[in-house]
Amino acid sequence: MSEVHRGVLLSVVGMLGLSVLTLPAGWASAGPLNPPGGPITPTQKPLAEIEPRIAINNTNTPGDADSLFRITSSGSYYLTGNIDGKSTVKCIEIFAAGGAQITIDLNGFTITGLTDIRSESAIFIDGDNAHVTIRNGTIRNWKNAVEHFIGGSITLEDVRAYRSLFSQYVVKNATMSRCLAEDGGSIGFNVDGGLLVDCSSINNTGAGFTILNAATTVRGCVAISNDGGGFNLGQGVAESCRAESNTGNGFTNPGVMTNCIANASTNDGIGASFSATIRGCTVVASGAAGIRIVSAGRVEGNTVSSSGEHGIEVAGGRVTVVGNTISAAGRNTGAFAGVFVSGGDCSVDGNHITNMLLGGDDFGIQVTGTSNLIVRNQLSAVSTYFSIVANNTSGGASTTPSTAGAWANITY
Ligand SMILES: [Ca+2]
Ligand SMILES: [Ca+2]
């Protein structure tokens, strides 16, 4: 050890020793319990200093020709009460750019427009590249509750929209949590990219959710009693969502769907077009097909019950239908199948199909296309187990699993 290092070490040891020796008296005892004399004075900073916020009013955020209030710069804004606006102008117009950060706390209040004239949106976001957050409040009777379709991003939390004339939320690059759209005149959530979690869309005259950009995930959301279908997914992702009693399809055009439920859709429970993966979903009482897919997809491990038409319909090619449970399909008048394939190069493997005796005209597996593979399916209580045209490859059918080949279909 050099002389310099030894010197440093010694002085550190010396300081530690000194501090131990010079602990102040009473170190281990509690402080006085009696308050000091004199009037009580605040010891904390006022809220405005800790979290400076700007009230939305005529002084701080004056409107312009087509807005009641207008916000043009970064900051944290809040409502101080309900607003009864005229929905002939925007209630809050945000016009900011350059990456402005704007937060609006609706503070639990309600922005109410007019029921007869709804020509403008309650909250309208213009300008480019602003990042806007809106939370905790109710918006009622406007053209749209929130309208944002230009650059930047928007975050909406705990916002409730009712009775918009058109789509309730028209948003781009959106992160939405626990938002509601109810009783609107068109689409509940009209979303061009983003993430929606725990949102509800109820009783709108358009779709519950319409996704315009496949770069969108919808998770834990519900669509109930909408007239234009539950979820139009635009090739986006749906996880653990529920479509209940919607007119039209429960879900349309998914990219990936997992663990979703479609109940009592008047048309298809799930209507997929191409390149879709549908896994672990439950479809009950659809008016038409339980799951309909056009081409190039995977339909795996779903449960389909009481569909009016086919349980699973494959209308195109290159689809894998594997490990699904289908019961009571084809309950409408006419001949339908548990699994119906009109395309080619599909695999129908290991599905379980039962309880299809109603009407006496339905098929377990019906294949009208060619170059398909049909193996290891299990069928019981079906009027006609198979209807498969020539030029397909089947594992055959057996009633005796113990002697059947590994690829055989089993009827029982
Ligand atoms: Ca304006
Ligand atoms: Ca039938």
Angle at 69 between CA 128 and CA 189, to 5 degrees: 60
Question: What spacing in Å lies between the alpha carbon of 388 and ligand 2's midpoint?
Answer: 18
Question: Which residues are found with C-beta within 5 Å of the ion, ligand 1?
Answer: 64, 66-67, 93
What's residue 377's pLDDT?
98
Percent of the residues in the chain that have a pLDDT greater than 90, as a whole number: 83
Question: What spacing in Å lies between the alpha carbon of 288 and ligand 2's midpoint?
Answer: 11
What's residue 161's pLDDT?
98
Contact 230, 249 (CB under 8 A): yes
Q: Is a pLDDT exceeding 90 seen at residue 49? A: no
Q: Is a pLDDT exceeding 70 seen at residue 63? A: yes
pLDDT tens per residue, range 131-150 = 999 999 999 999 999 999 88
What's residue 98's pLDDT?
87
What's residue 43's pLDDT?
67
What does pLDDT average to over the chain?
A: 91
* Residue 293 domain-assigned (yes or no): yes
DSSP E strands, 253-362: 256-258, 261-263, 270-274, 277-279, 282-284, 291-295, 297-300, 303-305, 312-314, 319-322, 325-327, 337-341, 347-349, 352-356
Question: What spacing in Å lies between the alpha carbon of 276 and ligand 2's midpoint?
Answer: 27
Question: What spacing in Å lies between the alpha carbon of 350 and ligand 2's midpoint?
Answer: 23
Q: Which of 248, 237, 246 is nearest to 213 (CA)?
A: 237
Q: Which of 12-26, 112-126, 243-257 has the highest mean pLDDT?
A: 243-257
What's residue 7's pLDDT?
44
What's residue 52's pLDDT?
86
pLDDT tens per residue, range 248-293 = 999 999 999 999 999 999 999 999 999 999 999 999 999 999 999 9
Residue 62 gets which letter from DSSP?
B
Question: What spacing in Å lies between the alpha carbon of 295 and ligand 2's midpoint?
Answer: 25
Nearest listed ligand to the Cα of residue 338: 2
Angle at 266 between CA 263 and CA 269, to 5 degrees: 45
* Residue 352 domain-assigned (yes or no): yes
* Residue 388 domain-assigned (yes or no): yes
Question: What spacing in Å lies between the alpha carbon of 343 and ligand 2's midpoint?
Answer: 21
Cβ-proximal residues to 345 (8 Å cutoff; 6+ apart), any chain:
317, 318, 371, 372
Question: What spacing in Å lies between the alpha carbon of 347 and ligand 2's midpoint?
Answer: 24
Nearest listed ligand to the Cα of residue 384: 2
CATH code of 327's domain: 2.160.20.10
Greater pLDDT, 22 or 232: 232
Q: What is the mean pLDDT of residues 37-43?
A: 67
* Residue 227 domain-assigned (yes or no): no
Question: What spacing in Å lies between the alpha carbon of 310 and ligand 2's midpoint?
Answer: 9
Q: Is a pLDDT exceeding 60 seen at residue 222? A: yes
Question: What spacing in Å lies between the alpha carbon of 305 and ligand 2's midpoint?
Answer: 13
Question: What spacing in Å lies between the alpha carbon of 148 and ligand 1's midpoint?
Answer: 14
Q: Rounded to whole angstroms, how far apart are CA atoms 330 and 387?
A: 15
What's residue 117's pLDDT?
85
Domain that holds residue 293: 264-412
Number of domains observed in the structure of the chain: 1
* Residue 118 domain-assigned (yes or no): no
Nearest listed ligand to the Cα of residue 383: 2
What's residue 210's pLDDT?
98
Question: What spacing in Å lies between the alpha carbon of 93 and ligand 1's midpoint?
Answer: 6
Q: Rounded to whole angstroms, how far apart are CA atoms 302 and 139?
A: 38
Q: Is a pLDDT exceeding 70 seen at residue 51? A: no
pLDDT bucket at 129, cuts 50 / 70 / 90 = confident
* Residue 154 domain-assigned (yes or no): no
Question: What spacing in Å lies between the alpha carbon of 67 and ligand 2's midpoint?
Answer: 58
Contact 376, 369 (CB under 8 A): no
Q: Locate tokens 């653990």: which residue?
A: 240
Q: Rounded to whole angstroms, how far apart are CA atoms 211 and 170?
A: 10
Nearest listed ligand to the Cα of residue 120: 1
Q: Rounded to whole angstroms, how far apart are CA atoms 132 and 152?
A: 8
* Residue 232 domain-assigned (yes or no): no
Q: Which H or E element spans position 411?
A: strand 409-411
pLDDT bucket at 85, cuts 50 / 70 / 90 = confident
Question: Which residues are found with C-beta within 5 Å of the ion, ligand 2?
Answer: 330, 359, 362
Nearest listed ligand to the Cα of residue 94: 1
Q: Is a pLDDT exceeding 60 seen at residue 72? A: yes
Question: What spacing in Å lies between the alpha carbon of 73 and ligand 2's midpoint?
Answer: 63
301, two tokens: 């491990």
Q: Could you give the C-alpha distances from 74 to 16, 95, 98, 101, 132, in angstroms and in order?
A: 50, 10, 10, 5, 9
Q: Is a pLDDT exceeding 80 seen at residue 20? A: no
Q: Is a pLDDT exceeding 60 seen at residue 27? A: no
Q: Which H or E element spans position 87?
A: none
Q: What is the mean pLDDT of residues 317-324?
A: 98
Contact 202, 182 (CB under 8 A): yes
What's residue 87's pLDDT?
84
Q: Which of 142, 148, 141 is nearest to 104 (CA)?
A: 148
Percent of the residues in the chain that have a pLDDT greater than 70, as a whole number: 88
* Residue 333 domain-assigned (yes or no): yes
Nearest listed ligand to the Cα of residue 92: 1
What's residue 44's pLDDT?
73
Q: 349 pairs with which residues across the strands?
A: 322, 375
Nearest listed ligand to the Cα of residue 124: 1
Q: What is the mean pLDDT of residues 299-305?
A: 98
Question: What spacing in Å lies between the alpha carbon of 62 and ligand 1's midpoint?
Answer: 11
pLDDT tens per residue, range 176-189 = 999 999 999 999 99
pLDDT tens per residue, range 2-11 = 444 444 444 4
Q: Is a pLDDT exceeding 50 seen at residue 301? A: yes
Q: 57 pairs with which residues across the strands?
A: none
Q: Is a pLDDT exceeding 90 seen at residue 97? A: no
Angle at 363 between CA 361 and CA 365, to 5 degrees: 170
Q: Rounded to whole angstroms, how far apart are CA atoms 163 and 87?
A: 12
DSSP E strands, 59-168: 67-71, 75-78, 83-84, 90-95, 101-105, 110-112, 123-126, 131-140, 146-147, 153-162
